[in-house]
Amino acid sequence: MKKSTKIASIAAAGALVLTGAATAMANVGTPAVEQSAAKVIPAVDIAPTPENVVAQNRISVGASASAVQAALAKCQADKLPFVTVALVDRFGTVQALLRGDNAAEHTIEAAKQKAYTAAAFGAPTSELAKRVNGNGPSIADLPGTLFLPGGVPLKVNGVSVAGIGVGGAPDGALDEACATAGAEAINAK
């Protein structure tokens, strides 16, 4: 072993000993029970009244899976196997995602963002895209949104609860047709 390697090894060992000693000194006088006991914060039961709790509608896992499968099937029938379909809740959490054969990586994010945009605004992204204009800041600058056709909201009693989005077709109208087919598949069950 070379002299410089030996010195580096001795220095590293010394640093470990010093670190261990510093930790031991910091713990002196602290009972072991206090060190391991986590602070317990009590839970508070909230009364499930309309004033305290908001009821939330969600699309079931079965319906979500059917919707993305139907949307991808429509795209495949239209000779568009390179798309991704995403279904998200109104907060943007993915509930189902299906990536078609040969779909590029960017289609995943595009599908999720279109789905979230439709869910959050309660309108198809093709309609929302028409509202974005001008050169300054706009709703199109909101993080996680994409104002391109291909996102369709899913509503329960007129309230947006989710969105389905398709990304990857060469035209947003094709994406939207597939997303619409997926949305319609939920009611077909």
In sequence order, which residues have a C-beta less than 8 Å from that of residue 110 and are 6 or more positions away?
A: 84, 146, 148, 150, 165, 167, 168
Q: Which of 171, 168, 114 lies closest to 145 in space, CA to CA?
A: 114
- Asked if residue 153 lies in contact with residue 162, where contact means CB atoms within 8 angstroms, the answer is yes
Q: Give me the residue spans of the domains in the chain.
A: 3-36, 61-187
Name the β-bridge partners of 160. 155
Tokens of 153: 């909201």
Q: Which of 117, 188, 185 lies closest to 152 in space, CA to CA?
A: 117
What is the model's pTM?
0.74
Encode pLDDT of 1-50 as tens digits.
455 444 444 444 444 444 444 444 444 555 555 555 678 888 888 888 88
In which residue ranges of the chain is pLDDT below 50?
A: 1, 4-27
Question: What pLDDT, on a 0 to 100 scale, did the predictor assign at position 36?
Answer: 53
Looking at domain 61-187, which CATH architecture does it have?
2-Layer Sandwich (3.30)
Question: What pLDDT, on a 0 to 100 scale, did the predictor assign at position 29?
Answer: 53
Q: Label the pairing between strands 159-167 and 84-89.
A: antiparallel
Question: What pLDDT, on a 0 to 100 scale, did the predictor assign at position 18?
Answer: 41
